[in-house]
Chains A and B, each alone.
Chain A
Amino acid sequence: MTEPNGIPRDEIILEAKGIEKIFPGVHALNKVDFTLKRGEIHSLMGENGAGKSTLIKCLTGVYGTDGGVIKFNGREIHPESPLHAMSIGISSVYQEVNLCPNISVAENIFAGRQPMKGPFVDWKTLEERAGKALERFDVNVDVRRSLDSYPIAIQQMVAIARALDISAQVLILDEPTSSLDKQEVAKLFDIVRKLRGEGMGIIFITHFLDQVYQISDRITVLRNGELVGTYKTGELPKIGLVTKMVGKDFDDLANVSRVRNESPHDVMIALEEVSAYQSVENVSLELRRGEVLGFAGLLGSGRTEVANLMFGIEHNNSGVIKLKGSAVRLASPKDAILRRIAFCPEDRKRDGVIGELSVRENIILAFQARLGIFRFKSLRQQYELADKYIKLLGIATPDADKKVSDLSGGNQQKVILARWLATEPEVMLLDEPTRGIDVGAKAEIMKLTLDLCRDGMAIAFISSELDEIVRISNRVVVMRDRAKIGEIDEDEGLDQENILKAIAGGMAV
């Protein structure tokens, strides 16, 4: 895994000690230490919200720190902006290629630093130097053409070329591989290894575990803004890494447990070898009436994408989606709503509630979508409906006219549930329904989920909290790297241990 090379190994190039970062209400980084050596590839791991990006942003001057010291080559530094960090020698390449698609490849590498001849840009030198910079990566493209005429992989190389041109000693790659295919990743890794060989320190952030083990020398794990530890890649088995990333949650949900169903259930939705472009690959699964189907996997494993497919947000380009046994094409969420499928999206604030509208208006939304805009419900009927669900779900609001943004997270989540229940769905897709709400509300949401299940609804439950999944699911689909890698039934030892094993295991190293 680690390649020997002639560079002195243990020279520390970048050191962060006791970094603190506090946002209003959140302790985003709590005394985090991090060291990067010359000529090493260091993976930074952690679930969403663990503090990876915050740490990187502190190192590159996007944020100021609230405590701690950053040293570069032994000298204390205070990066003020990404540009300043760059001039010190710390360059970063982000997941989304942060270049301008409309200007040429050459210009993207040199924008703002074009070689000049007198007052004018020296195009000839510019293009020659751009060509040379890319040749280093065995990339041979016409540097005069605009960036968007090349695939993402090339754009990524251009971004790296830009980052490196500023005599960087530390290169931060933030999720660089998430939009690349296998060959492109292999090529990127060749380049990264080459740079390591030249003595550069590289920080690598990804959610692909395989890639971490393929390329990194050391791994630092963060969880909830705290340092879990730094390990040599060879000494940390995958299962250990996953456990350290996910952690164990306290058991506040003791009285929630899955619904036992004896009778065989009808299949509501079946996916048969479904693949979607840049999304999931070859997923087959069945979602049955009266059961909770859990979706486990790390962030980016394809969990949400599967839900999107079942709700018509994304479209499959191969395979079949069957609803109650007959193949369907879900062209849009509206199609799905008409077929009695409901979806509570992952990002409640962005995709779910409309904060400026009242509880009633939010509840009525999906219902109205199903009716079509020309069939009005009288205001009285709307209030009846809203009051019914406020009571049923125990939404803590003084009345149905309260603005949703004034409610707590848990209650907002219930409003979304109410919205979909009002459409009388047969299938309910819940994507991270318990994220960002307190433990009591979590338990309530889960109990509601189980009640719906008892009433015969088919429920897909996507969550990063393994504990919750294990608690309420009858079966669990385990996802990794945008593919389904296994399914665990309640009778076959459905517990956290086995899910973790499934996520970590079966990875050919």
Chain B
Amino acid sequence: MSVRLENVRKKIWKFSPLYFMMLPGLAYLLINNYLPMYGITIAFKDINFAKGIWGSDWNGMQNFKFLFSSSDAYLITRNTILYNAAFIVIGMTVGVGTAILLNEIKNKLAVKFYQSALLLPYLISMVLVSYLVYSLLSVNVGFMNKTILPALGIDPISWYNEPKYWPFILVFVNLWKGIGFSCVVFLAAIIGINKEYYEAAMLDGASKWQQIRKITIPLITPIVIMMMMLSIGRIFYSDFGLFYQVPMNSGALFSTTNVIDTYVFRALMQLGDIGMSAAAGLYQSVVGFILVILSNYAVRKFSKDNALF
């Protein structure tokens, strides 16, 4: 017993510099993320500022009711999940693909150019993106209606009144904005791969395609899985700007653009009830958390090394 204790003590002593290094980061997490979690209680309260946050009355699940009571509940849940699923699948595929292509290119100057160009959309805010989209799609002055469609002999389209185009537009805009980011992340992973693997593979006569399939992809799988899990955890959230500002809050498009975040925003715009918005946030977090635990469990079954925890 005492020997074991001695061992543990030794081990802790050995690792103490590492724990010490973690201190600032952990303190930060505590302050920025864990202390504010008491705010979760707000979701179960009828907030009255005269009584203060602590003194306000509890009201059970009352604040959550508006999320489920309306006929839109199904629509917004479906939209949120389907869009996010599409974003994850398409974003990951294109991101990995682009990173692999970039890695192939020998000309340093070209790499630099492509990378900068791809990252450009990532640099701007969604409000600006919404103006860009507007300059393309505006009924009266948009580039599509004024230049492209006439050239193709197609009648002008009233983009902001036609819900059927928006799934494509939103997926495209999201991809356009995010590709630079995911590409950079994956490229960093690819460059980190030991070159000896490729050299060995080439000696064995493996084609480029085989190298990509057998070396690159398996070796960047951990980072792909991590990115994926993070996205899954946020599957009930959506980029507010993308779904609100880019479609210009156009009512006619709601069937394909209303998601949980925009629904909550519109619902509470008039009421300004922080209890209800906290309830919506908590609901999104909990669902995301459960999904991540489940998918982590699945990954763990499949390959233990790739699991996150």
B is a partner of A: no
- B-side residues, CB < 8 A to A, are none
- A-side residues, CB < 8 A to B, are none
